[in-house]
Structure 1
Amino acid sequence: MLAVYFFREDFVKNYLKNMLLIGTLFLVGCSSLIQKKENASIIIKNGTVLTMDKNNKVINSGVVIIKDNKIISVGNKELLKVYSAKKIIDAENGIIMPGMINTHNHLPMIAFRGLGEEGIKNRLFAYFFPLEGEKLNRDLIYKATIHGSIDMALSGVTTYADMYYHMDEMAKATKDVGIRGVLGETVIKFPVVDAKTPYGGIEYAINFIEEYKNDDLIIPAFGPHAPYTVSKEKMQEIENLSKQYNVPIMIHVGEFDDEDKRLNLKNKSVIEYMDSIGVLNNRVLLAHAIHLNEKDLDIIKKREASIAYNPMANAKGATGIARAYEMLNKNIKVGLGTDGPMSSNQVDLFRTLSYASSMQRLKYNDRTIMTPDVVVKMATIGGAQALNLDKKIGSIEPGKLADIVIIETKSPNMMPNYDPFATLVFQANPSNVDTTIVNGKIIVENKKLKTYDIKKNIKQMKEIENDIAKFAKELAEKAKKIN
């Protein structure tokens, strides 16, 4: 009986031991069936996602997953079960949208913002150019670009296109703040601050392109000023170089109603002239494009060129209203721009959004056109298409670069928020931008810039203002006397 007892005790011990082992294996097996979360860099949750994809998909209570510098997944709250990240951003029912794209600017002119507003008739030639000739230099261009880039980052602009001088200084400043730039070195027929000889900008542009052709934030380009300030031969040379280096060309076209006369054209428009000399193609971005006819638009469509629509600057300068509604109906690529900070006094796109809609409705006497979703498209994927960057940016889709902004909807001006597109176009302003992410890096968080010392920049801009003020006032008095 005693032996039987010990047998039974050993049996029970072994049985319990085996059961414990089996239970452990079962739990391990079950845990392996539970999907292990994938690592991401940033998760954005709890917002209305305006994807701006080809179907214009909107995701309520949406989630965006970012890994390194790219978007890897977009969807609903189910994604939170799949991904984990050290950085989780709660959008708090805000609007999650692609970073906005300003397709035309002259950013360093922000140093001159507010000048020449005394009713000067020929403001470009009597005031702008002389002011630049006297006061522009490398140091000012760098510091002013810092200031303008900060202004844009805080207002949800993640990419801007620019035509100006000393583009290497602009590139450094743009990268120091952390936004994306398509930067075209200006080419013009007279000496300027960075070129002592006419058309010296071509050589400068080549050097700039060579330096930045593989940069992750800077896309170098050529910026011939206009057909009436760049000769036929130089335009063709720029076109050949643009093709060789596969970089964009940005040019002012149709901004004024007398450009055909400036070129001594007979029975031919400026667009027809550009087409006839072989410099109109899908690498060309036409800034303004106001004074164009239907035939011009058909040529632009055929050549697959793009347009930067600058409604606020054009209204302020009384240069006219571009036919943006017709351009869009012809499937021409159209982005939004502010023009230089002396033209619209803005570098953000919020007021431009409203102008883009309102000016077209006024032009065509039709309040049903240019609906908010169309306007937001121009500020995002439309701008990306105009710059031939739509495979990389402009929408919130897996595989694209993580250029994303979050617009808060808790401020009084944002409430109520029935339609996020209408809220953006007709209610929002730069102060509503909570977060700006560029290339997967958080540039602005909780409405505060993270990449540059704003106090330092304010001091720099005060020094620039003190240096310029007296000369600018004297120049304005002289310019007012010139017809």
Structure 2
Amino acid sequence: MKKLTLSLLAVSLLSACSQTSQLNHNASLIIKNGQVLTMNDNKDIIEQGVVVVKGDQIIAIGTKALLKQYSASKVIDAEDGIVMPGMINTHNHLPMIAFRGLGEEGIANRLFAYFFPLEKEKLSRDLIYQATRLGTLDLAQSGVTTYADMYYHMDEMAKATKEIGLRAVLGETVIKFPVVDAKEPHGGIEYAKQFIREYKNDPLITPAFAPHAVYTVAEDKLQEINTLSKQLDVPVLIHVSEFGNEAERIQDNTDKLSPVAWLNKIGVLNDRMVLAHSIHLTKEDIALVKQSGAGIAYNPMANAKGATGIAPAWEMYQQDIPMGLGTDGPMSSNQVDLWRTLSYAANMQRLKHDDRTIMIPEQVIELATIGGAKALHMDDEIGSLETGKKADIIIVETDSANMRPNYNPYATLVYQANPSNVDTTIVNGKVVMENRQMKTVNVKSINQEIDKIESDIQDFAKELAKDAIKSPSLMK
């Protein structure tokens, strides 16, 4: 009997030692005491929830019972805040944040008479790098953990993005006239090929092609990009149907097909594409998009500010077309965070359809998270809090006056929250911001560089506006 007792005691001690060893070595980060919005297929909400992270992945998610199974060197107490997937901005031109607030004099032909000339005169590698640092700082502070971008010198953007610690889909712009990083028309194709080779397997950067639009890129170049994107297995980002007269502006579109129908006709509309704006779509266009598997970047606030129209987002949502939210460039909506865009996403559709029951807050948060991941064809890795997915997580505090009461967390986020309510931002398992304090960069140094850029630009920009305001709209 004594031997049996000693044996049982030994087994018990071995088991306890094993559990202790497991508890001390099985996670790198634990978030506890949060209202966890998983954004999984069932939209599960876990009160007093726990998220367990090891390395760059979520390894467990559930109730506080998990605290008895896991330990970590770092534990974050969410203090009843909302724990949710990092938000995804599916369309941007981030370095244009250096020009934010310019060209607001009521310029009709803002893109060609103001944006493009301003870029031609002032863009440089250094400006793109410094402006991306500011832009990604803004994103991180507002809870956006992934963004998609179409611009120039994407290697500079990638470098700045990784310094802040965000995830990005970066598309090198291809356009039919010389630009800052390509002296020849459509020179962005060669630049993109080099950029893709450099960043193809990066943990944070997904390189892409970004033909500007159907009316600024030649047909054969769109087909070449399509072939390359298939060979290299990378996305293609493009503006489509942002303006109502794009069909007339497409060279050789003798049948005056819609932009979507034309892309389909020339054989480039497919599930590697992300279509930004997609405002002026017919039912037939929507059917083609659905059939192709292409993603949609819905930019309601920028489209309202630019008076370009209201996208048929509700119709596309009902048909389960992969769709996320975007802000467009910082000269289009003057912001890169998604918080005001959330309410625009719902309210513009309610006005369009004269129906206050559609696009409810839960659906809007879906667009900002897992919807954006699906639009970018990345939903196997990001967009929801689920075991095995990347640890891209934000904590939104609920103690501030504007966040109380919090009866419905989706409504609280869509109609009450603002960027300052984001307390913590985590990307790929790394804490980028905690307690509103950036952990990866010196904010003061970023601001000092932007001050220099502002001083250099402001006089030229004012003079340019005087000429640009005389230019008639291309939409007339």
- Give the alignment's TM-score, normalised by structure 2: 0.96
User: Are positions 1:339 and 2:290 aligned together?
Assistant: no
Give the SS at the match of 1:366.
coil
User: What is the rounded CA distance, in whole Å, between the counterparts of 1:31 and 1:416 in structure 2?
Assistant: 48
Look up the match of 1:172: 159
What is the CA-CA distance between 1:29 and the residue it aligns to? 2.6
User: What is the rounded CA distance, in whole Å, between the counterparts of 1:42 and 1:306 in structure 2?
Assistant: 33
What is the CA-CA distance between 1:91 and the residue it aligns to? 0.3
Residue type matched to 1:227 in 2?
A: V
What is the CA-CA distance between 1:482 and the residue it aligns to? 1.4
1:65 to 19, 27, 52: 52
Give the SS at the match of 1:416.
coil
2:394 to 398, 405, 416: 405
Look up the match of 1:30: 12
Question: Is 263-272 or 161-170 further displaced after alignment?
Answer: 263-272
What is the CA-CA distance between 1:30 and the residue it aligns to? 2.3
The C-alpha deviation readout for 1:204-258, integer Å capped at 9, x for no partner, is 0000000000100000000000010001100000000000000000000000000
What is the CA-CA distance between 1:166 and the residue it aligns to? 0.2
What is the CA-CA distance between 1:266 and the residue it aligns to? 3.0
Look up the match of 1:121: 108
What is the CA-CA distance between 1:477 and the residue it aligns to? 0.6
What is the CA-CA distance between 1:27 and the residue it aligns to? 3.8
2:77 to 90, 101, 104: 90
User: What is the rounded CA distance, in whole Å, between the counterparts of 2:256 and 2:192 in structure 1?
Assistant: 34
User: Are positions 1:191 and 2:178 aligned together?
Assistant: yes
Residue type matched to 1:336 in 2?
A: L
User: Are positions 1:239 and 2:226 aligned together?
Assistant: yes
Matches within 5 A, 1:142-157: 142-157=129-144
Residue type matched to 1:41 in 2?
A: S
Residue type matched to 1:176 in 2?
A: E
Look up the match of 1:4: none
Residue type matched to 2:422 in 1?
A: V
Structure of larger gyration radius: 1
Matches within 5 A, 1:19-418: 26-34=8-16, 35-36=19-20, 37-38=22-23, 39-263=26-250, 264-418=253-407
User: What is the rounded CA distance, in whole Å, between the counterparts of 1:96 and 1:466 in structure 2?
Assistant: 40
What is the CA-CA distance between 1:269 and the residue it aligns to? 1.0
Residue type matched to 1:359 in 2?
A: M
What is the CA-CA distance between 1:267 and the residue it aligns to? 4.5
Question: Is 34-43 or 60-69 further displaced after alignment?
Answer: 34-43
User: What is the rounded CA distance, in whole Å, between the counterparts of 1:377 and 1:455 in structure 2?
Assistant: 34
Alpha carbons 2:247, 2:256 under 8 Å: kept: no
1:429 to 414, 418, 421: 418
User: What is the rounded CA distance, in whole Å, between the counterparts of 2:14 and 2:400 in structure 1?
Assistant: 46
User: What is the rounded CA distance, in whole Å, between the counterparts of 2:144 and 2:342 in structure 1?
Assistant: 12
User: What is the rounded CA distance, in whole Å, between the counterparts of 1:358 and 1:97 in structure 2?
Assistant: 23
What is the CA-CA distance between 1:331 and the residue it aligns to? 1.1
User: What is the rounded CA distance, in whole Å, between the counterparts of 2:147 and 2:33 in structure 1?
Assistant: 28
Give the SS at the match of 1:268.
coil
User: What is the rounded CA distance, in whole Å, between the counterparts of 1:350 and 1:98 in structure 2?
Assistant: 14
What is the CA-CA distance between 1:23 and the residue it aligns to? 6.6
In structure 2, the gaps of 5 or more residues are: none
Query: Alignment identity in percent?
Result: 64
What is the CA-CA distance between 1:31 and the residue it aligns to? 3.4
What is the CA-CA distance between 1:25 and the residue it aligns to? 5.3
The C-alpha deviation readout for 1:105-126, integer Å capped at 9, x for no partner, is 0000000000000000000000
What is the CA-CA distance between 1:476 and the residue it aligns to? 0.4
Residue type matched to 1:194 in 2?
A: D
User: What is the rounded CA distance, in whole Å, between the counterparts of 2:123 and 2:147 in structure 1?
Assistant: 21
What is the CA-CA distance between 1:481 and the residue it aligns to? 1.3
- Give the alignment's TM-score, normalised by structure 1: 0.95
In structure 1, the gaps of 5 or more residues are: 1-17
Residue type matched to 1:112 in 2?
A: F
What is the CA-CA distance between 1:332 and the residue it aligns to? 0.6
